[in-house]
Chain A
């Protein structure tokens, strides 16, 4: 193993040398380029690298195992150890414990409820900004990760233009719908606007069909229902958001925090309250008892309603595609498809503005990201870690990940490929949604789990008439203020570096 920790400078100089050599041999011919690539990547690397993989929802994906095998073949002196959290232990608790003790694995895949920048004050994660822009020796053209990724996803992964985690795949949410029930209720065209959407639900309700199954009691951070208010807010608050973030792109965490602190972004504003009013009027089409808290069962009761052909629509993530494929034909056999969240237009709300708005809610942070622990630096594993990350993020490995894990690739030109033709088609539809995130999705998510959980609880209380709109948004405002205060601390650390 390397005797001293490799510094960022060492690393970049190695990368630059490799890139220079690659340009030279690329000029000499493809075989030489391949040889140079091998040379660049097989520099004296040895040791054991630990990788914590929370495994998404299905355990360590097979592709990860294949990639580890390929890497170990390429570097015979390197052993990669995939670590999982002990049985029965929550992933977040496991990683926090390991970070606190300074014994975290070298590469850590943060759990869904974790944002590496929320840990900036603890100094647990190694900053990857230089790595993100460094040439990748495993790419024939030695493009950096930032050059390989589609720009909108790069934007979702950064905090003040700095990076503490990376990802190669993502996912997003859409409406799954039962084509047979739509036809039975006489809904012929897919709703594109909010007015169409409500009209379609009225028809479904009149036909005695549950228009939509919604997990409206779910308070789990990052789940479909807790993520949905960001779309509404992005549509009804577009004028305010344009002030907070002039020009294209997403509202950043910094901008959102400034908006909250300065009072520009307020839960008590009429435009914010409008978004909640719209959700409330929409909830009259949800299934009976929609606010029930989600128990341990999966699929959820709402999911079951849809799978059993009793509800016409269900709001879920792309992970639901294989579940539909495996459950529906066998048991209930109805035709289904997906459609994106409809556009709220001025005809439905005076706060809405004309023009198409993004309706993606998750994107790059929605799948399996990776970060590097500071413990890796202390162990002198930095060179190995970064080389392995280059290997993982090379275009062919990005493509392999997309093929294997039913996630959507984030890399430029990486084809979408599910396990079969249906998955490929559906994931293509999700990919379109994912490539256009709603303005607030990333920044609101970045405010952290505590805020989103509190907002979801308050939303359900409001929808189930336990509290008034003003009382609910007043409490949301308090939660926003608290979250902004916390985020300000992370930003201060990020900006100080």
Chain B
């Protein structure tokens, strides 16, 4: 009997030992991480107060009639029903769809081409000069660039119309931001969404942030692969399309996600450039929800727009993450 018990006990100890060991390990890790946890705690607290709480509050208040101050009244899905029949919301989402779509196309092409061209320069010093040349404009505040674009577009005195007039093309002059038929295109040219939060990029759309990310990706591809491909007779175009591009899809995915998020959320560029006008020709959801929240004091309705925007961003990001996968990721490659 005793022997049986001993065997059972020994078995139990054997079973518990690894569990106990794991527990000890976790405790040891926790003890070791106490100091870092302590130091990171303020950041967690502030993030909870200033990021997570407002986000959750927005989610909650999307179902309320609330002015931001008074008692909130639960109204179920009324805000969402109102959104469905609100022509301004429809216009705003259509506009942002166009702007973000163009932003994605731009980030997938122009900075990538620029990065590829720079990467192809044999002289590293010249490569560096080009990179710096494209990055320097980042130090100019975005507001300044937008104001310059505003002057550039001025229908009477703007450089663009003057240039056209000087070229004897007066018939082509336009009220670039004043004509509702073309104002959104004017915005696309001057302030397409950048992957860098809060920034936009104007013509020629070589976004410095995207350029750096692409450059990092291209430089992380081992030279032997490209050399082997060249020896196998692959031309520059083939090398780019069949080797380089598949290998930097991680960077592509990151930039597309960032452009989608920034494009859908951001509105400051529109506010500075056109205030959403003429009428609502360049209005975007971010601007509309800002006006609803802070001018009309309709925080509940604004929250419901934000919730829909959030859902769209999540879905698009998930699709992007699921379907855009790099062929291989090399050490040092981002994302």
Q: Which residues of A are at the interface with B, using a C-beta cutoff of 8 A?
A: 90, 92-93, 96, 99-100, 113, 121-122, 210, 217-219, 221, 287-297, 301, 304-305, 308, 310, 449-450, 453, 457-458, 460-461, 464-467, 475
- 13 pairs across A/B with beta carbons < 8 Å? A217-B178, A217-B274, A288-B156, A292-B278, A293-B276, A296-B143, A297-B151, A301-B156, A308-B157, A457-B88, A457-B279, A461-B280, A466-B180
Could you tell me the dominant secondary structure of chain B's interface residues? Answer: loop
1/0 contact string of B131-160 vs chain A (CB within 8 Å):
000000000000100110011001111000
B296 touches A (CB below 8 Å): yes
Chain B residues proximal to chain A, CB less than 8 Å: 68-70, 87-88, 143, 146-147, 150-151, 154-157, 174-180, 183, 272-282, 291, 294-298
Known: A287-B155, A460-B277. A296 touches B272 (CB 8 A): yes
Cα A218 to Cα B279 with chains together (Å): 9
Shortest beta-carbon distance, A57 to chain B, in Å?
A: 18
Given the known A-B contacts A304-B157, A461-B278, are A295 and B180 also in contact in the complex, defined by CB atoms under 8 Å? no
Tell me, rounded to whole Å, the shortest Cβ–Cβ distance linking A444 to chain B: 16
| A292/B147 in contact, CB under 8 A | no
Top 8 nearest A-B pairs (CB, nearest first) are A289-B178, A289-B175, A293-B277, A291-B278, A461-B279, A293-B275, A450-B296, A292-B178
Residues of B within 8 A of A296 (CB): 143, 146-147, 272
Question: Could you say which residues of chain A place their CB within 8 Å of the CB of B69?
Answer: 96, 99-100, 122
A93 to B155, CA, bound (A): 35
- Complex: chain B residue closest to A93, CB-CB: B294
The binding surface of chain A is classed by DSSP as loop
* Residues from chain A with Cβ under 8 Å of B276 in the complex: 219, 293, 457
Q: Which residues of B contact A290 (CB under 8 A)?
A: 175, 178
B186 closest partner in A (C-beta):
A292
| Cβ-defined partner of B277 (8 Å) among A301, A450, A457 | A457
Q: From the candidates B275, B279, B281, name the one contacting A295 in the complex (CB within 8 A).
A: B275
A389 to chain B, nearest CB (A): 26
Determine whether the beta carbon of B156 is less than 8 Å from that of A449: no
A contact residues around B157 at 8 Å (CB): 304, 308, 310
The answer to whether B295 and A217 touch across the interface, beta carbons within 8 angstroms, is no
Q: Which residue of A lies closest to B278 (CB)?
A: A291
Which residues of chain B are near A458, meaning CB under 8 Å?
A: 279
* Chain B residues within an 8 Å CB radius of A210: 156
Q: How long is the Cα–Cα vector from A103 to B293 in the complex, in angstroms?
A: 22
- Contact (Cβ within 8 A) B150 A464: no
**A141 CB, min distance to chain B CBs, angstroms:** 42
Nearest Cβ on chain A to B273's Cβ, whole angstroms: 5
Say yes or no: A466-B295 contact (C-beta < 8 A), given A292-B177, A295-B146, A305-B156: no
A405 to chain B: closest CB distance in Å? 26
* Contact call A295/B147, Cβ cutoff below 8 A: yes
Query: CB-nearest residue of chain A relative to B176?
Result: A289
A465 surroundings in chain B (CB, below 8 A)? 180
Tell me the bound Cα distance from A296 to B156 in angstroms. Answer: 18
Q: B296 touching A217 by the CB < 8 A rule?
A: no
The smallest C-beta distance from A196 to any residue of chain B, in angstroms, reads 26
Nearest residue, chain B, Cβ from A461: B279
Given the complex of chains A and B, what is the CA–CA distance between A344 and B75 in angstroms?
Answer: 46
Cβ of A287: which chain B residues have Cβ within 8 Å of it? 155-156
Extra 18 A-B pairs, beta carbons < 8 Å, given A289-B179, A290-B175: A99-B69, A217-B277, A288-B155, A289-B174, A291-B277, A292-B175, A292-B277, A293-B282, A295-B272, A295-B273, A297-B147, A301-B156, A310-B156, A450-B296, A450-B297, A453-B295, A457-B279, A464-B179
Give the chain A neighbours of B281 by CB distance below 8 A. Answer: 464, 466
Q: Which residues of chain A are within 8 angstroms of B156 by Cβ–Cβ distance?
A: 210, 287-288, 301, 305, 310
